[in-house]
Amino acid sequence: MERHIYRLEDVFDESKFPDLTFVPIKEYPFLQSAIRTAGKHITLSGPSGSGKTTIIKRLLLEEKITDNDLFWINAREYENASNFLELFAMSLSEPNIKLESVFDLLSCTKFVIIDDFHFLPKDVRFEIAQKLKLLHEKHIRFILIGITSSAQELVGVDSELGIRNAPFELKTQDADFTNALISKGEELLNFNFSSKSKDDIISASSGIPSIVHIICRNALIMNSITETLFESQKIEIDFERLKKEIIRIFDAKYFNQILAIAKGKGQSTLNTYFDIIEAISRDSRLEIPIEDIKEKLLQSIKDEKKRKRKSSSLQSCLVNLADVIKSNNSTSLIYYNKDSNVIAIEDPSLRFYLNLFDIEKLRNKLRIRESQFTYDVAISFAGEDRVVAEDFKRLCEQNGLSVFYDFDRQAQLWGRDLSRIFTDVYRYESNFMVILVSDSYKNKDWTNYEFANGKDAEKERSLEYLLPIRIDDSHIKGLKETVSYMDLRTQSMEQIVDALIEKINNIQ
């Protein structure tokens, strides 16, 4: 019999539905029964890349339920919806639609499927859960697909939810599943991996089907196999070489986005955004509980004061993390919101990349330094000189330095005792204090208060602490005339920041 020729990408491709290499999971017959049971809603949860959407598509195909019988919603497109009605008004492109009209339209479908359910706001997710009984009575069936935490939070919303909803949680697959997937590919392309190579694939993929596809495809490319072979061939994977090749490919795709997240909203000398990325990279799971990340970041810190500072820094970073991810266009890679108890890797390719990732490369790029201080530098200035202060801050942060600048901390400062906060910042938490010396500076109560704290701090430091930058010829009482100044009238801000960087590097 003449062998059919398949292209490599027809067989191993993590980005599309696996028509040729589909392997049923152990939950498959139970899911099939749920789909066949009239009136049942289905909640399907599990980490990204575990095959949730693939399984649903395959089951619907087997049940001969076509796209015309379905209403699909990708929740990523509607994360700004404020309630149930607005979600469907947006997805139906009917801004003025009434709720009863929504029900009428949805009742014409066999299933309403909301994929990436966890991207909807929490209030909308809860409203959908609360409406499942009503939807059941109107003969409207929902399939909700999302990460594990989004399904777990629905438990308890309605005591009768279990009666009309069939919940399923997909976990990573076992060695038998991975072996079956590989074997299908081997048969279609007429080759065989060695036993050791198969064991290595099973171990490296962590039971995530899409990662199996990534490994197999790249391993075969490295062995010049691009389509079905006429003569069978045995393949031994050089995993070190494969690792380098995959890192090379994925570096271009992911590194800059991971770098931007690790920078956060201005990398602090506590390096907490970086520490979060490091904790994620050292954990092979697709969903990492926040509590586990907290434990990893805090468990090695024995000093109570340092532990408290790190804990406070972590809380601040978690408050801002969703905005950092979104502002860097990385929501397709990593999911987190303030209501979450997990950080979820949305792209399984990223998970595999992070498993192989050289964290030292990121550390060096960020110029991570070990320091007992929260900030590299705190800047003290009069309001009239804010434009100069902002220029200084911008150049410092572009060069990887952390700066205490009051406008960046407005949310944290709001309602708190500023005298206590500024005492901590200018006396205990900063490596250096830069003063913008001007006529306005010497006449302000707050600048005098900041300067007094800086003077106290300097008495306790073994190295110089106060670094004055002249804007004009003014003199600040208490600052020695013999102290060396930088002068913005004769030096550029770039030169001044370069000198600060050199000073910081010299004390490492």
Provide the Cα torsion 231, 235, 241, 242; round to 10°: 90
Q: What residue ranges do the domains of the chain occupy?
A: 28-169, 174-237, 252-366, 375-506
Most confident of 204-213, 219-228, 351-360: 219-228
Cα-Cα end-to-end distance for the chain: 71
Hey, what are 238's tokens? 């050089």
- Give the integer Cα–Cα distance in Å for 124 and 144: 13
- Give the integer Cα–Cα distance in Å for 431 and 465: 7
Average pLDDT over residues 384-409: 82
What pLDDT is recorded for position 152? 64
What band does 7 get if pLDDT is binned at 50, 70 and 90? very high
Fold observed for domain 375-506: Rossmann fold (3.40.50)
Contacts (Cβ under 8 Å, ≥6 apart) of 403: 266, 375, 376, 377, 378, 379, 392, 393, 396, 397
The reply to whether the predicted model has a pTM over 0.75 is: no
What pLDDT is recorded for position 173? 86
Helices (H), ranges, 264-303: 272-281, 290-298
375-506 shares the fold of 28-169: yes
Contacts (Cβ under 8 Å, ≥6 apart) of 491: none
Residue 482 has pLDDT above 80, yes or no: no
Average pLDDT over residues 110-129: 92
Mean pLDDT, the chain, rounded, equals 87
Q: Which CATH architecture has domain 28-169?
A: 3-Layer(aba) Sandwich (3.40)
- Predicted confidence (pLDDT) per residue in 276-310, tens digit: 999 999 998 888 999 999 999 998 888 787 788 78
What band does 36 get if pLDDT is binned at 50, 70 and 90? very high
- Using an 8 Å Cβ cutoff, are 142 and 111 in contact? yes
Residue 30 has pLDDT above 90, yes or no: yes
